[in-house]
Every structure is written in structure tokens, then in C-alpha cells.
Amino acid sequence: MSLVYIAPYRQKDSWGIVSRGLAKTIAKQDNIDLVIRPVWYNINSRETDIGELEQYELAKIKEK
């Protein structure tokens, strides 16, 4: 199953920390093809390094 996760995971604040944690939890599931896209609540607080989550940001939605 494909899942698109849109969240403020690139922010450095608590919104970003929680969003990255949830994305990492979802990514651990075997039956989910994760695709993530960022949204910003505070443009002044951008996280540049999201570690292993970057592979999911670059992923494309798989069609059936």
C-alpha cells in the first residue's frame, strides 16, 4: 500500500521533531510504500538535513 505523508518534517521546531518521528515510524512498516512531502508552518525554521527520510521525499507515488 502506498501512503503519502504531508507534514512539517523539515522544520527545526517541535512540529518538525514530531513529524520526523512519525515518518520514521511509518517507514518501518513492511507493507507501506512511503512518500513524504514537506509543508512549512514557519518558513524561518527550515531543517536542511532529514537523514534517511530523504529517500522517501524523493520517492514517487506508485500507480496500480
Question: What pLDDT is attached to residue 27?
Answer: 96
Question: What pLDDT is attached to residue 46?
Answer: 75
pLDDT along the chain (64 residues), means of 10: 93 92 96 93 78 93 75
Question: What pLDDT is attached to residue 25?
Answer: 97
For residues 9 and 50, the answer to whether their CB atoms sit within 8 Å is yes
Question: What pLDDT is attached to residue 19?
Answer: 95
Q: Virtual CA dihedral for 8, 11, 12, 18, nearest 10 degrees? A: 10
Question: What pLDDT is attached to residue 64?
Answer: 65
